[in-house]
A and B are shown apart, each in its own frame.
Chain A
Amino acid sequence: MDKSGRKYFTFAEPPGQIILENGSLLGPVTIAYETYGQLAADKSNVILIEHAFSGDSHVACHAEDEDEASRPGWWDNMVGPEKGIDTNIYFVVCANILGGCMGTTGPTSLNPATGKPYGLDFPVVTIADMVHVQKKLLDFLGIKQVLSVIGGSVGGMQVLQWCVSYPEMVRSAVPLATTMRHSALAIAFNEVARQAIMADPHWNGGDYYGKAMPEMGLAVARMIAHITYLSDESMRRKFGRNLQDKSDFSFNFDVDFQVESYLRYQGSKFVRRFDANSFLYITKAADYFDLEASDGTSINTLNDSQTRFLVVSFTSDWLYPTYQSKELVKALKKNGLDVSFCEIEADCGHDAFLLPNCRLDSLIAGFLKGVAEND
């Protein structure tokens, strides 16, 4: 364990590499993960949380001490003692995704063949590959079944992939603000973001480690992505047409509006913590995600699964709109699965699943309690 509460598990040392969905071999693989709460003696209280696109294993602060482990997590409002996902009751596991840049193997990791960071030599991974390596982590932890897999957005895709890849390991699933299939709209935004990175001269075909970083490209990519997480309403409320530190237009191309200043700030903040190549790999994995199309394993092969589902969408989410959650619900119903669905009224767009919301807290808490009591 390092100072931030992060632990590491390394496996698939050559020649025992894992085979990825695209057929290529990868190894060794390191997974960075964190755990919260106490594992019950019968291991029946495990909750696996899947982080979204730019998240990491630090889902919540580890409270007790003053060091780095107590820094806020990305879902502090949901995960912790006496919260929606109560760490006094449940043992929470959260791992950084494959292809990411927060401790798990990805394009920034050293390629054993060259001794240098992979860059674009890193194989293109899929959501199924991300789930595959998490399964290895649970095997390592001796966990045969989880009470629930919970996650939003790209995390929600992993939740659904878990249900399809390892249905016997998943007692319940909570996919939030997500989709079974990346839409043309979502792919389009990802492509524009990727183009922004690849157009930055510092990107250099993905080979920029130890040199000048493609900061401008990554910042613009983040700005694009960030817009898709908001909504018309939330932007109107937060910024309107307000000017930034001025009372009149500048009549040049500096920042005039608050919304411009905000996006620039979000972009520059992001480049300090995220890798441009990881951005490319993770967005590609999301774009390839289509549960209906994957051969052999799809939602339609789940008809004898015992997994219980709680599907949640948010009214103003236009990245993964409610109709996409309803398609998922429909597919689950047709296959005779136990599914609950709630569309939460929220005007803050796709980001809503991450923001404090007592309705979401009580939905998840009540659902988990029901699943735990059912056996």
Chain B
Amino acid sequence: MTDQSSMRFDLQIISSWIQEDSTVLDLGCGKGDLLDFLRTHKKIRGVGIEQDEEKVACAISRGLTVLQGDLSMEVVDYPDNRFDYIVLSQTLQQVYEPAELLKELVRIGRRVIVSFPNFSHWGVRLQVLLAGRAPKNDHLPYDWYDTPNIRVITMKDFRLFMKEIGVCILKETAINTHHHDIKGHIVRILPDWRATYGIFLVASCLDGKCEPL
């Protein structure tokens, strides 16, 4: 069983946003830690999508419902509002067609929770400005030529992006944590500069308002 303190910090925040007895789709669910936690502590009914065979097998062996496949392809099969929540954690920056994906997600889920590394963190800015190098640090440990993070997003970019594709932001939290780190804290002052990750709760909006859950 997964307990809260052993989960990645952004997943701890995300799970606190999910209501009990809801249905959850976790995209890029890995070995199913978040789903396992939510199933035990929030009595959710969950589905995971994961590409890696070994992780899929591990998650299914835990009794979780998990589909092996590419998340952009898998989400299109679901009917409208199939899930109460969809979780896309630390994956958006690796998606080839983020606009198409986000539109699908707000179609099949009433609420979508997105977390991603914030590329406007001061450390990243300084690296570009002073060293003249593409950002590389503890939580973005890749070189430009081998990074899976093909999308460079900042929290500001994401807000604008949501506006452009007609998606409402219901809640946002900036956190400071390291990749895969279980410890972290919420950043309230100058989040765009100081947060390593942004977490957003979004939903489809009609006439500027989103449907109640």
Which A residues contact B (CB, under 8 angstroms)?
308, 310, 326, 329-330, 333-334, 336, 338-345, 359, 362-363, 365-367, 369-371, 373-374
Measured CA separation A326–B65 after assembly (Å) = 15
A342's contact among B53, B62, B79, B82, by CB below 8 Å, is which?
A: B53
Q: In the bound complex, how far is the Cα of B47 from the Cα of A338, in angstroms?
A: 8
Known contacts A334-B77, A345-B53; A363/B61 CB under 8 A: yes
The answer to whether B82 touches A336 (Cβ under 8 A) is yes
Cβ distance A303 to chain B, nearest Cβ, rounded Å? 10
Tell me how far the C-beta of B95 lies from the nearest C-beta in chain A, rounded to whole angstroms: 20
B63 within 8 A of A: yes
Chain B residues closer than 8 Å to A367, beta-carbon distance: 60-61, 63
**Are A363 and B60 in contact (CB-based, < 8 A)?**
yes
Asked if B142 is an interface residue, CB under 8 A from chain A, the answer is: no
CA distance A31 to B68 in the complex (A): 38
Residues in B whose Cβ lies below 8 Å from that of A326: 69
A363 to B77, CA, bound (A): 24
A99 to B136, CA, bound (A): 66
A327–B65 alpha-carbon span in the complex (Å): 18
A327 to B: closest C-beta gap in Å: 10
Q: Given contacts A342-B66, A363-B60, A373-B63, list 7 more A-B pairs with CB under 8 A.
A: A326-B69, A334-B77, A340-B66, A342-B53, A363-B61, A366-B60, A366-B61
Please determine whether B61 and A362 come into contact, CB atoms closer than 8 angstroms. Answer: yes
Residues B61 and A343 in contact, CB atoms below 8 Å apart: no
Q: Which residues of A contact B175 (CB under 8 A)?
A: none
Chain B residues, CB < 8 A from A343: 53, 68
Chain A residues contacting B68 (CB-CB under 8 Å) are: 341-343
Cβ B77 vs Cβ A333 within 8 A: yes
Residues of chain A within 8 A of B67, CB atoms compared: 329, 333, 339-341
Question: Which A-B residue pairs are the 5 nearest by beta carbons?
Answer: A370-B63, A366-B61, A333-B77, A341-B67, A362-B61
Taking the complex as formed, is B96 at the interface, i.e. its CB lies under 8 A from any CB of chain A? no
Distance (whole angstroms) from the CB of B21 to the closest CB of chain A: 15
B29: min CB distance to chain A, Å: 11
Asked if A333 contacts B78 (CB within 8 A), the reply is: yes
Are A310 and B60 in touch, CB under 8 angstroms?
Answer: yes
Residues in B whose Cβ lies below 8 Å from that of A330 = 77
Asked whether B195 is an interface residue with its Cβ less than 8 Å from the other chain, the reply is no
Q: Which residues of A contact B60 (CB under 8 A)?
A: 310, 340, 342, 363, 366-367
| Chain A residues whose C-beta falls within 8 Å of the C-beta of B82 in the assembled complex | 336
- Which residue of B is nearest A374, CB measured? B63
B78: chain A residues at CB < 8 Å are 333-334
B2 to chain A, nearest CB (A): 15
> How far is A370 from B45 in the complex, measured between Cα atoms in Å?
13
* Shortest distance from the beta carbon of A176 to any chain B beta carbon, whole Å: 13
Which secondary structure dominates where chain B touches chain A? mixed
Q: From known contacts A333-B77, A345-B53, infer whether A340 and B61 are also in contact, taking CB-CB under 8 Å.
A: no
| A334, A341, A366: the one within 8 Å of B79 (CB) | A334
Known: A326-B69, A342-B57, A345-B53. A370 touches B77 (CB 8 A): no
Instruction: State whether B62 touches A344 (Cβ < 8 A).
Output: no
Residues of B within 8 A of A339 (CB): 65, 67
A344, B67: Cα distance in complex, Å: 12
Closest to A310 in B: B60
Q: Which residue of B lies closest to A368 (CB)?
A: B63
For B57, the chain A residues whose CB sits under 8 A away are: 342, 344, 359, 362-363
Contact of B56 among A329, A338, A342, A371 (CB under 8 A): A342
Cβ contacts under 8 Å, B106 to chain A: none
Are A336 and B61 in contact (CB-based, < 8 A)?
no
B38 touches A (CB below 8 Å)? no
What 1/0 flags go to B168-183 for Cβ under 8 Å of A? Answer: 0000000000000000
Task: Write out the residue numbers on chain B whose beta carbons fall within 8 Å of the beta carbon of A310.
Answer: 60
- Is the C-beta of B64 less than 8 angstroms from some C-beta in chain A? yes
- List of B residues within 8 angstroms of A359 by Cβ: 53, 57
What CA separation (Å) do A336 and B77 show in the bound complex? 10
Bitwise, B69-82 to A at CB < 8 A (1) or not (0) is: 10000000111001
Please indicate which of the listed interface residues B53, B68, B77 has the most CB atoms of chain A within 10 Å of its own CB: B68
Q: Say whether B69 contacts A341, CB under 8 Å.
A: yes
Instruction: Give, as a whole number of angstroms, the nearest-CB distance from B57 to chain A.
Output: 5
Q: Are B79 and A336 touching (Cβ within 8 A)?
A: yes
Q: Which residue of B lies closest to A360 (CB)?
A: B57
In the complex formed, the residue of A with least CB distance to B66 is A340
Minimum CB–CB distance for B50 against chain A, Å: 10
B62 partner residues in chain A, CB cutoff 8 A: 366, 370
23 interchain pairs, CB-CB under 8 A: A333-B67, A336-B82, A338-B47, A339-B67, A340-B64, A340-B66, A341-B67, A342-B53, A342-B66, A343-B53, A344-B53, A344-B57, A345-B53, A359-B57, A362-B57, A363-B57, A367-B60, A367-B61, A369-B63, A370-B63, A370-B64, A373-B63, A374-B63
A362 to B55, CA, bound (A): 12
Residue of B nearest to A372 (CB): B63
Q: Report the minimal beta-carbon distance from B120 to chain A, rounded to whole angstroms.
A: 37
CB-CB under 8 A from B79, the residues of chain A are: 334, 336
Roughly how many angstroms separate A256 CA and B64 CA in the complex, as a whole number?
51
Name the residue in A329, A371, A373 with the highest tally of chain B Cβ atoms < 10 Å from its Cβ.
A329
Q: Give Cα A181–Cα B63 distance, bound, in whole angstroms.
A: 28
